[in-house]
Amino acid sequence: MGVFDALTGGGAKKGKQKLDEGLALLEGGNAKDAIPCFDEALKLDPKSADPHFHRAKAKIQLGKKEEALKDLSEAVKLDPNHPKAFGERGLLRVQAGKLAEAVADFSEALRINPQSALLYYNLGSARFKLNQYEEAANAYAQAVKLNPNHAPSWYAGGKTKAALGKKEEAINDFNEAIKLDPKNPKALARRGTLKMALGNPKDALADFDKSIALSPGNSGAYFNRATARGKLGMKEEAILDYDEAIKLAPANAMAYYNRGNGYFALGKYEEAIKDYSRALKLDSTLAWAYYSRSAARMLAGEREKGTKDLEIFVQMTENAVAGSAKIREEAIKHLESIKSMGTAAVGKIAEETMTIDAIKEETDSLKTASVRAQEEGIKEQKFEAIMFIDICKSTNMIDSFGELHYFQKVFAVIDKPLTDLKKQYHCQFEKSTGDGYMLTFNDCASAVNLGISLLHSVRAHNDSTDDPAQIIDLRIGMDCGQVIVKEADSDRIGDAANVAKRIEGLMTESFVELAPGVKETFPEKNRIFASAKVITMLGDATAIKCGEVGWAELKGKVGVRYQISQIDWRESKPGASPGSTSVRL
């Protein structure tokens, strides 16, 4: 009967019946029971692409994306003119970070169905993630040409044109997006930012007001509105907005820095100094905070500290370009004058210093990493907590006892608990560094909890052996921030990764200032050192105990000072729910 069915097309007919049965279940929200119907349809009609396509849709609903990807690949193999299968596979590949392949899929789907506005929108999104802004803009333009009522395409087009520096064109696109969807807070906020850039803070303020009313939990909108209010002379109101921005994003160094400028403008120098110090605690690369704090300190009568801040600014901007170089020259002149002037004259210089409107929002080191990543291929950019784990004196161990001993008796002892801890605390990426590991996490509490648990495990191992050759000591360093994920191997590069590595190896000679009592008790091993950003991001994680170590200068970061804290892992309890008390990145 099966052969007869195959010869007469009966198998295809019965396959179609099973396919329809599965579709009814899938459309009714029953993806699990739909899959056996699609399986049966494939047995009856193995050359049909549709059962593969619809089974993939069911598997996507069930979260089985890898299996769905295989089904979609089979579907396009059986039917190279199946636009929906190409389109769906493109979406999965975007989610997996395989952007170039996604572009190829959307392009194939458009070859078959060139009148699909949605396919052009998806193609634009993939190209935007690849930083192919011109191509993305063209795709979004086609999308709105085919469907002028699709607000997301107008919004995405505006975002892309803004990235290209086409501010007026971007505003026009946001205007259309807002007409179609007047309750889109992101479109309003982005349009406001562009109006600010074009010198229209009054209209920008109206956009920020509407955006905040629609989405009061958006820190960026408060930050931008504060900037607009500052431009309009609304100093007190600007400070209130920075207050809200900081409540919602306590690790935003620029919010503290700008609020400090607001206090400075009001003559509240003590408050300004506190905010500049907080900004530097979170981002020691922010040279402008040293520059501004020097002026505030001089006006507050702290001449020696103000002079020191100005010296640090000059040191940090040694390789400055454009506007920064000019300001650096002025700072050098100020330093020379301060040494021979009285306090009143110093205050006058400080006031002149703050007349320069200079805010640097990105660090040169991150820009350098971004350029390098462009050459090597970017998969994505994201915020993560970065941890480096170093096995102390690993080279000495290998020299004394051999590589076999090291990898069997030392490395393996760490690797065994670490495997379970990485799963428990949702490690996002790992790589071996030869004598240790680099790990990344979505939040700081998960990273810290893993470090605490690992050191407890190592202590238990050390307590259980009398063999000095099997004693293991670790050093752990942590930072958090934006990292660049490489396309080729998912490796992480960027300032946060570099800083975490440098923090791991810190010794007393790296510190320009140690907290009281630390010099006598400085831990050279079995410790977790973390940047101030990590401590801030821990939020209300009261089970994690920490204390200040001091201010350090990291290798390769001349003139930049980082406030370092130590996690007291012996007195801390690992969190049962990873990341539950941490501020999410």
Instruction: Answer whether 60's CB lies under 8 Å from 38's CB.
Output: no
Closest CA to 129 of 101, 154, 165: 101
Whether 205 shows a pLDDT value over 90: the answer reads yes
Whether 361 shows a pLDDT value over 50: the answer reads no
Mean of the pLDDT values across residues 335-339? 62
Options 3.30.70.1230, 3.40.50.2300, 3.40.50.1820, 3.40.50.620; CATH for 364-567 is: 3.30.70.1230
* pLDDT for residue 464: 87
Q: What is the largest CA-CA distance in the chain?
A: 107
The amino acid present at 374, given as its one-letter code, is Q
Query: pLDDT category, 410, cuts 50, 70, 90?
Result: low
Whether 47 shows a pLDDT value over 80: the answer reads yes
* pLDDT for residue 578: 43
CB atoms within 10 A of CB 516: 8
| Mean pLDDT estimate for the chain | 82
Q: What one-character DSSP code corresponds to residue 584?
A: P
CA angle (481, 483, 489) in 5-degree steps: 150
How far apart CA 206 and CA 198 sit, in angstroms, is 15
Domain locations in the chain as residue ranges: 2-226, 250-353, 364-567
Tell me if residue 513 falls in helix, strand or coil: strand
DSSP string covering 310-333, please? Answer: HHHHHHHTTT--HHHHHHHHHHHH
The amino acid present at 125, given as its one-letter code, is S
Q: Range with the lowest mean pLDDT among 66-75, 124-133, 355-364, 473-482?
A: 355-364
Closest CA to 489 of 549, 432, 528: 432
Whether 106 shows a pLDDT value over 70: the answer reads yes
Whether 372 shows a pLDDT value over 50: the answer reads no
Alpha carbons within 13 angstroms on the beta-carbon side of residue 361 total 2
* pLDDT for residue 478: 95
Helices 235-248 & 219-231, crossing angle to 10 degrees?
160
pLDDT tens-digit readout, 162-177:
989 999 999 999 999 9
Whether 208 shows a pLDDT value over 90: the answer reads yes
Whether 244 shows a pLDDT value over 90: the answer reads yes
> What's the first-to-final CA gap in the chain, in angstroms?
61
* pLDDT for residue 401: 52
Query: pLDDT category, 582, cuts 50, 70, 90?
Result: very low
Query: pLDDT category, 452, cuts 50, 70, 90?
Result: very high
Mean of the pLDDT values across residues 498-520? 91
Q: What one-character DSSP code corresponds to residue 148?
A: T
The amino acid present at 400, given as its one-letter code, is S
How far apart CA 215 and CA 122 sit, in angstroms, is 26
* pLDDT for residue 26: 84
Span 250-353: which CATH code?
1.25.40.10
Instruction: Answer whether 549's CB lies under 8 Å from 566's CB.
Output: yes
User: Which residue matches tokens 């004693």?
Assistant: 471
Residue 120 contacts by C-beta under 8 Å, 6 or more apart in sequence?
110, 139, 140, 142, 143, 146, 153
Whether 97 shows a pLDDT value over 90: the answer reads no
Q: Tokens in use for 103?
A: 């572009």
* pLDDT for residue 559: 63
* pLDDT for residue 542: 65
Query: pLDDT category, 349, cuts 50, 70, 90?
Result: very low
Tell me which H or E stretch contains 475.
strand 474-486
Instruction: Answer whether 295's CB lies under 8 Å from 309's CB.
Output: no
Query: pLDDT category, 102, cuts 50, 70, 90?
Result: very high
Instruction: Answer whether 573's CB lies under 8 Å from 543's CB.
Output: yes
Tell me if residue 585 falls in helix, strand or coil: coil
Q: In this structure, what are the phi and psi dihedrals at residue 524, rounded to the nearest 5 degrees?
A: -90, -10
Instruction: Answer whether 38's CB lies under 8 Å from 26's CB.
Output: no
Q: Does domain 2-226 have CATH number 3.30.360.10?
A: no
* Fold match flag (2-226 vs 250-353): yes
pLDDT tens-digit readout, 271-326:
999 999 988 888 777 778 888 898 899 889 888 888 888 888 777 776 554 455 66
- 127-145 CB burial, b ≥16 within 10 A, e <16: bbbbebbebbbbbbbbbbe
Mean of the pLDDT values across residues 203-228? 93
Instruction: Answer whether 214's CB lies under 8 Å from 183's CB.
Output: yes
